[in-house]
Amino acid sequence: MTVIITAAELARDLAGPTPPTLLDLRWQLSAPGAPAFDARAAYEAGHLPGAVFVDLDRELASPPGPRGRHPLPDLAEFGAAMRRAGVSTGTPVVVYDGGQGWAAARAWWLLRATGHPNVRVLDGGLTAWEGPLSTEVPTPAQGDFEPLPEATGVLDADGAAELAGSGVLLDARAGERYRGEVEPIDRVGGHIPGALSAPTVENVGPDGRFLSAADLRDRFKALGVSGDTPVGVYCGSGVSAAHEALALAVAGIPAALYVGSWSEWSNDPSRPVAVGPDPR
């Protein structure tokens, strides 16, 4: 099953006999001290017709704390939010955001990790859509999706540390944050010892759409990812890492996600920190 969908394919499916459930994940990280991005207002100003707004911070994550800035949500509450949005197990789901892809990937990953069998991300997000937009806020019929009691493919801090030595652990943040040259958000800069720098922005072209599966396979192969290598990903708070996991899925490579990511790891003074370009 494909994990991304083009705008043309989505338009075709929406006009077909079994249109997918559409979820709008408009979200973006605000700079420290800057006003928070109003995702709901952006949605209400114009969205794909029929799309339901989902709040990443409130519905795809628990409140920030020791487990990071975007820890896993309570799965019962997550399931209730998805059912309110009209998500059913037997109906395809397509998720999109404003174009960066990170928030949509977080929704894709969480739905797949909790058992939904058919979720795709609109490649390029809202900016790739050439059809009309709507300001009408739909009231979807209640869905029936029941998430698994425990998400699959999840790493904790100890699991991430172990994988950095026994497999491949990819750091999806910008290179300067990996090297510890700057750290605008977390307590300290640097990376998990043994992790490899693999900025998620390098998985897409100038238009924000994913590179081809072949090009992505070549990219990850150069980082030591082979068909039998366990792979994990992390970032600052488990959002852009979901986009890296999506890129790996496009390439046909399964990966686990360290949800707490650097915001959890760096908050624990007992955890080792590596700086500079060397993984160790």
List phi, psi (to 5°) of 138: -75, 160
Q: Nearest-CA neighbor of 274 among 172, 185, 192?
A: 192
Clarify whether 235 is annotated catalytic. yes
Q: Which of 235, 242, 250, 253 is catalytic?
A: 235
Spatial distance between the Cα atoms of 191 and 208, rounded to a whole number of angstroms: 26
Spatial distance between the Cα atoms of 4 and 13, rounded to a whole number of angstroms: 13
Would you report the helix, strand and coil content of the chain in percent, each value rounded to 5?
30, 15, 55
Spatial distance between the Cα atoms of 99 and 207, rounded to a whole number of angstroms: 9
Cβ-based burial of 14 (10 A; exposed 0-12, middle 13-18, buried ≥19): middle
The two counts, helices (H) then strands (E), for the chain are 10, 10
Q: Catalytic positions, please?
A: 235
